[in-house]
């Protein structure tokens, strides 16, 4: 067993590797989505593909990344200088815009990887039938180019043929090239920093501390579970629709807590749907990791050890474990949020003093793409918009904030208007949208964006029908609203829609408030 002080030191050393990767990625990224919104994640993995440490990045990315690393380990043999690339949701990915680069870290004179570092970044366009690659789709191929595990770099040399193929299938190849280079730089930074740790402490010590950290997280998770009342806790909630059919999509969960273990079972969840709200297993696993991690103390490392005492049952062919070729763009951004809502709703019954009411429950995805007449080239803009956080025992919910499975920033108005033919007319807190209660839910956001050029607009949003729930007698938050304002007339828009917009049109997004807590 590692000495507690030494283990704490290595916890921060390993986390610093991932954090520095994130700094490198942000500072060298090309797109506003990377530089400003920070829609990326970085992590460190052991030789078996177990996540050892992560930076404080995007929960929906990080819980799924071990499956990506394991997919590339199974698919190929590595030599020093290799870098693998993939985005296939059915092989550890989340949705197609999230491209993952995995770099093996070799020790001198060793023939097998000692560890892996990986970065996952949301690219603002990867092809498909709509700019931004977040369309109202009915099959995966409509959402963009699908990249199975392949080598982007082989023995230190870029696979130019593969790179040319990828860039030929996107609308903004220059921007994509810049962001991919930033990911390569981030991975190189992580590999270099890990090798410095090995040189300082020795490979045996570093490897032992990796396993000790995984075991430590497992032990603390078992302690958490043992402290919860044993029993079976159930909850269900609904997605508004799937973007194609109007029928609500049910997500159900039962959490059985017995001693130091838990079984999370999604039996009763709706079968996979025609629209893009289908989530792959990696997304569901991410949500489970996140929900239980929220009940642990802040000083507990987030790694694969947290999931060792938790069994996850997600029936194949449902919206929480879809089969190909189902479309999945909304599963990553919207269904992940609802999975989190039902998990926390169930856990609130076991730990009522530690779980907040529902937060906004959506990422309010907005993509706008077309021709930028100012620069004479295509553009693709992607944004997720914050909303209200659910109230919790003893405290109101926060206003206008990203919650749960997303941890991005907003695109600042100045950066948005500089980069795209868009103008932000209004950006404010949506007062009164939080649910009432002894502690009120946080308020959402209103964001009005005027188009300065004709463009195709896609909105993937939720909680426009089913409001974020309150807890302990608290009231639900207000549902969100979408609208198109054309020539001064407001036209309501559904939660999921693609439309051809004209210069002068205004897209108005009003995001949901969080639920209230207590009477």
Radius of gyration of the chain (CA): 22
Q: Is the pLDDT of residue 1 over 60?
A: no
Lowest mean pLDDT among 105-109, 242-246, 269-273, 420-424: 105-109
Helices (H), 32-168: 32-35, 59-62, 65-75, 160-167
pLDDT class for 300, splitting at 50, 70, 90? confident
The pLDDT value given to residue 57? 63
Coil vs helix vs strand at 233: strand
Distance of CA 475 to the CA centre of its chain: 28
Residue 60: C-alpha distances to residues 41, 340, 383 (Å): 9, 10, 16
pLDDT value at 88 more than 80: yes
Please tell me the distance from the alpha carbon of residue 297 to that of residue 7, in angstroms, as a whole number.
Answer: 16
Answer for the pair 80, 116: CB distance below 8 angstroms, yes or no.
Answer: no
Q: Are 380 and 372 in contact (CB under 8 A)?
A: no
| Predicted local distance difference test score (pLDDT) of residue 407 | 81
Distances from the Cα of 335 to the Cαs of 98, 249, 265, 320, 483, in angstroms?
16, 10, 16, 8, 22
Q: What's the mean pLDDT in 298-303?
A: 84
pLDDT of 3 reads 84
Q: For residues 82 and 34, what is the distance between their CA atoms, to the nearest angstrom?
A: 24
This prediction's pTM: 0.96
Task: Check pLDDT > 70 for residue 439.
Answer: yes
Q: pLDDT tens, 117-171?
A: 999 999 999 999 999 999 999 999 999 999 999 999 999 999 999 999 999 999 9
Quickly tell me which residue has 């749960």 as its tokens: 404
DSSP string, 442-465: PPEEEEEEEESS-EEEEEE---SS
CB-based contacts of 281, cutoff 8 Å, min separation 6:
67, 314, 320, 321
pLDDT the model gives residue 89: 96
Per cent of the chain over pLDDT 70 is 98
Name the band, by pLDDT with cuts 50, 70 and 90, for residue 408: confident
The mean pLDDT of the chain is 95
For residues 124 and 133, give the distance between their C-alpha atoms in angstroms, rounded to a whole number: 7
Q: Does the bond joining 212 to the residue before it have cis omega, within 30 degrees of 0?
A: no
Edge-to-edge order in the sheet of strand 377-383: 377-383, 365-372, 455-460, 496-501
HSE, side-chain direction, 13 A CA sphere, residue 469: 19
């Amino acid at each position: 067993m590692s000495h507690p002080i030494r283990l704490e030191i290595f916890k921060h050393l390993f986390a610093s590797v991932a954090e520095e990767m994130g700094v490198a990625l942000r500072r060298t990224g090309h797109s506003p989505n990377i530089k400003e919104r920070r829609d990326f994640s970085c992590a460190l993995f052991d030789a078996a593909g177990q996540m050892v440490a992560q930076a404080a990045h995007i929960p929906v990315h990080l819980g799924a990344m071990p499956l990506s690393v394991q997919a590339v380990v199974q698919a190929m043999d590595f030599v020093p200088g290799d870098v693998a690339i993939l985005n296939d949701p059915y092989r550890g990915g989340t949705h197609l815009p999230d491209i993952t680069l995995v770099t093996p870290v070799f020790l001198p004179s060793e023939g097998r990887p000692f560890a892996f570092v990986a970065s996952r970044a949301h690219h603002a366009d990867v092809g498909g039938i709509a700019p931004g690659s977040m369309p109202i789709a009915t099959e995966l191929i409509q959402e963009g180019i699908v990249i199975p595990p392949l080598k982007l770099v082989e023995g230190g040399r870029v696979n130019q043929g593969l790179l040319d193929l990828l860039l030929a299938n996107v609308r903004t190849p220059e921007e994509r090239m810049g962001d991919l280079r930033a990911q390569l730089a981030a991975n190189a930074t992580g590999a270099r920093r890990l090798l410095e740790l090995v040189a300082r402490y020795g490979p045996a010590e570093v490897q032992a501390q990796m396993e000790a950290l995984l075991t430590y997280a497992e032990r603390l998770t078992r302690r958490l579970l043992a402290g919860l009342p044993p029993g079976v806790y159930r909850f269900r909630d609904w997605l508004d629709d799937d973007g194609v059919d109007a029928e609500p999509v049910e997500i159900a969960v039962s959490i059985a807590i017995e001693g130091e273990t838990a079984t999370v079972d999604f039996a009763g969840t709706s079968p996979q749907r025609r629209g893009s709200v289908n989530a792959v297993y990696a997304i569901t696993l991410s949500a489970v990791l996140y929900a239980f991690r929220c009940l642990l103390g802040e000083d507990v490392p987030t790694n694969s050890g947290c999931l060792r005492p938790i069994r996850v049952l997600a029936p194949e062919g449902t919206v929480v474990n879809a089969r190909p070729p189902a479309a999945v763009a909304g599963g990553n951004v919207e269904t992940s949020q609802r999975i989190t809502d039902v998990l926390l709703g169930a856990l609130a019954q076991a730990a009522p003093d530690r779980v907040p009411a529902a937060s906004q429950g959506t990422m309010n995805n907005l993509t706008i793409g077309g021709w930028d007449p100012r620069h004479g080239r295509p553009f693709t803009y992607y944004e997720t918009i914050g909303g209200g956080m659910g109230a919790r025992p003893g405290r109101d919910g926060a206003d206008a904030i990203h919650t749960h499975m997303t941890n991005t920033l907003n695109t600042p108005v100045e950066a948005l208007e500089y980069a795209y033919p868009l103008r932000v007319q209004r950006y404010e807190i949506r007062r009164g949208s939080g649910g009432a209660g002894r502690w009120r839910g946080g308020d959402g956001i209103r964001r009005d964006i005027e188009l300065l050029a004709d463009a195709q607009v896609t909105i993937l949003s939720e909680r426009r029908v089913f409001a974020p729930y309150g807890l302990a007698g608290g009231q639900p938050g207000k549902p969100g609203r979408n609208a198109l304002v054309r020539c001064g007339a407001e036209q309501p828009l559904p939660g999921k829609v693609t439309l051809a917009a004209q210069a002068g049109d205004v897209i108005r997004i009003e995001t949901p408030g969080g639920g209230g807590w207590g009477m």
